[in-house]
């Protein structure tokens, strides 16, 4: 199975100051990633919004046709535009408002040639001490996802729902199971999983099985969401890759680390480039090691 390793971009490397800045900043980022040896890109639309907040610009508000130069740059650099990362929903607003934002991200994803859109459940911490609270959260997340999933199908896109540290794995899988939509699967985020007390990588990867369509790879030391490049932190990486191999995972291996320590500009380009390249090589080594070990077990 060919392994495609991608990187999340913009929000990490490039800091557009205005909408006029965006296409050329992103074109630059795309070319840079290809030079670092990546084969795919996830456009971090949610991240872009944060960096642009000072300018009061939301990325999905930019007309999809303005993204054409980005799609062309990715294609000529040989990068697959694998995915777009959507924005956070909020239970503090009616579901329709979150849906409207996600639909604009879907249009952007389609314009960029992505196949997958990464979705978070509502950003608020979940406090499920009462049945009522659980039901209210479920109702919100299902309403948003159902509407966005139908819109995704109409654009030949699939959705993947990501685990976040603030909600339990039980809640995450409950939402996707209840939804039971053919265009909705899982993205497993390794760093977020490592922050949950119930984290057992092999068990969870087996449980998600054929519905696991996407992974976000980054590490931490189990205390906060550091987004360290692989193999940083205390995750037992060989076990993660062995389990992915075991379930026949065929999606992208997306490195989602912060490559500058503070997570904020200014960044240090030589260090960033070294960390990106090392992380890519390490992911390659770990996928190869998992395949080799499985082959040896089969032979023996
Ligand atoms: Zn992630």
pTM beyond 0.85: yes
Ligand 1 centre distance from Cα of residue 182 (Å): 22
What CA–CA distances, in Å, run from 118 to 102, 132, 182, 184, 245? 10, 28, 15, 10, 22
DSSP state of 197: T
Ligand 1 centre distance from Cα of residue 297 (Å): 32
Give CA–CA dist 78/95, Å, rounded: 38
Question: According to the model, what pLDDT value does residue 224 have?
Answer: 92
Give CA–CA dist 42/200, Å, rounded: 26
Q: How confident is the model at residue 20 (pLDDT cuts 50, 70, 90)?
A: low
Ligand 1 centre distance from Cα of residue 47 (Å): 11
Tell me which residue of 2, 12, 1, 3 sits closest to 218, measured CA to CA: 12
Give CA–CA dist 288/171, Å, rounded: 33
Q: Give 23's Cβ-side CA count (13 Å radius).
A: 16
Average pLDDT over residues 204-221: 95
Q: Spell out the domain ranges in the chain.
A: 4-299
Contacts of 34 (CB under 8 A, 6+ apart): 77, 78, 79
Q: In this structure, are residues 210 and 182 in contact, taking their beta carbons and an 8 Å threshold?
A: no
Average pLDDT over residues 225-232: 89
Kindly tell me if the per-residue pLDDT of 262 is higher than 50. no
Ligand 1 centre distance from Cα of residue 256 (Å): 6
Average pLDDT over residues 162-188: 95
Q: In this structure, are residues 125 and 83 in contact, taking their beta carbons and an 8 Å threshold?
A: no
SS (H, E, C) 139-179: HHHHHHHHHHHHHHHHCCCEEEEECCCCCCHHHHHHHHHHH
DSSP state of 57: -
Burial class (CB in 10 A: 0-12, 13-18, 19+), 146: middle
Q: Which two tokens stand for residue 189?
A: 């985020």
Give CA–CA dist 59/248, Å, rounded: 35
User: Mean pLDDT: which of 54-63, 69-78, 278-287 is highest?
Assistant: 278-287
Ligand 1 centre distance from Cα of residue 21 (Å): 25
DSSP state of 269: H
Ligand 1 centre distance from Cα of residue 295 (Å): 30
Rg (CA), the chain: 19
Degrees, nearest 5: CA angle 217-98-226: 25
Ligand 1 centre distance from Cα of residue 133 (Å): 25
Kindly tell me if the per-residue pLDDT of 176 is higher than 70. yes
Pick the CATH number of 4-299 from 3.30.70.1450, 3.40.50.150, 3.40.50.10490, 3.20.20.150: 3.20.20.150
Q: In this structure, are residues 39 and 78 in contact, taking their beta carbons and an 8 Å threshold?
A: yes
Task: Identify which has the larger pLDDT, 169 or 65.
Answer: 169
DSSP state of 62: S
Kindly tell me if the per-residue pLDDT of 216 is higher than 90. yes
Question: Which neighbouring-strand residues pair with 255?
Answer: 7, 217
- Of the listed ranges 45-54, 90-99, 118-127, 228-237, the one predicted with least confidence: 45-54
Give CA–CA dist 101/107, Å, rounded: 10
Strand pairing category for 184-189 and 252-255: unpaired
Question: According to the model, what pLDDT value does residue 58 have?
Answer: 63
Kindly tell me if the per-residue pLDDT of 264 is higher than 60. no
Ligand 1 centre distance from Cα of residue 192 (Å): 7
Ligand 1 centre distance from Cα of residue 220 (Å): 13
Average pLDDT over residues 191-214: 95
Kindly tell me if the per-residue pLDDT of 68 is higher than 50. yes
E strand map for 16-97: 40-44, 80-85
Q: In this structure, are residues 41 and 6 in contact, taking their beta carbons and an 8 Å threshold?
A: yes
| % the chain with pLDDT above 70 | 83
Ligand 1 centre distance from Cα of residue 46 (Å): 11
Average pLDDT over residues 39-46: 82
Q: Which two tokens stand for residue 280?
A: 């890519």
Kindly tell me if the per-residue pLDDT of 61 is higher than 90. no
Provide the mean pLDDT of the chain.
85
Ligand 1 centre distance from Cα of residue 227 (Å): 9
């Amino acid at each position: 199975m060919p392994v495609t390793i991608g990187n999340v971009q913009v929000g990490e490397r490039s800091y557009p100051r205005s909408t006029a800045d965006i296409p050329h900043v992103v074109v630059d980022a795309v070319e840079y990633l290809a030079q670092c040896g990546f084969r795919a890109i996830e456009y971090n639309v949610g991240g872009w919004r944060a960096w642009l907040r000072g300018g009061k610009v939301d990325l999905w508000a930019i007309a999809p046709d303005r993204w054409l130069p980005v799609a062309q740059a990715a294609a000529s650099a040989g990068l697959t535009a694998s995915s777009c990362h959507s924005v956070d929903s909020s239970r503090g607003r009616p579901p329709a408002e979150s849906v409207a934002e996600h639909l604009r991200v879907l249009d952007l994803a389609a314009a960029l040639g992505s196949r997958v859109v990464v979705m978070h459940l509502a950003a608020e911490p979940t406090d499920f001490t009462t049945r009522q609270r659980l039901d209210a959260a479920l109702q919100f997340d299902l309403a948003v996802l159902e509407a966005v999933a139908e819109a995704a199908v109409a654009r030949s896109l699939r959705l993947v729902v990501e685990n976040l540290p603030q909600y339990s794995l039980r809640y995450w899988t409950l939402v996707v199971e209840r939804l039971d939509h053919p265009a909705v699967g899982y993205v497993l985020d390794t760093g977020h999983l490592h922050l949950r007390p119930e984290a057992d990588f092999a068990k969870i990867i087996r449980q998600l099985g054929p519905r696991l369509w996407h992974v976000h790879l980054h590490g931490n030391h189990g205390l906060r969401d550091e987004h360290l490049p692989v193999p940083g932190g205390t995750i037992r990486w060989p076990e993660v890759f062995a389990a992915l191999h075991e379930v026949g995972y065929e999606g992208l291996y997306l490195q989602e680390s912060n490559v500058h320590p503070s997570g904020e500009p200014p960044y240090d380009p030589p260090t960033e480039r070294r960390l990106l390249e090392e992380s890519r090589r390490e992911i390659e080594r770990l996928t190869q090691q998992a395949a080799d070990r499985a082959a040896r077990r089969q032979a023996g």
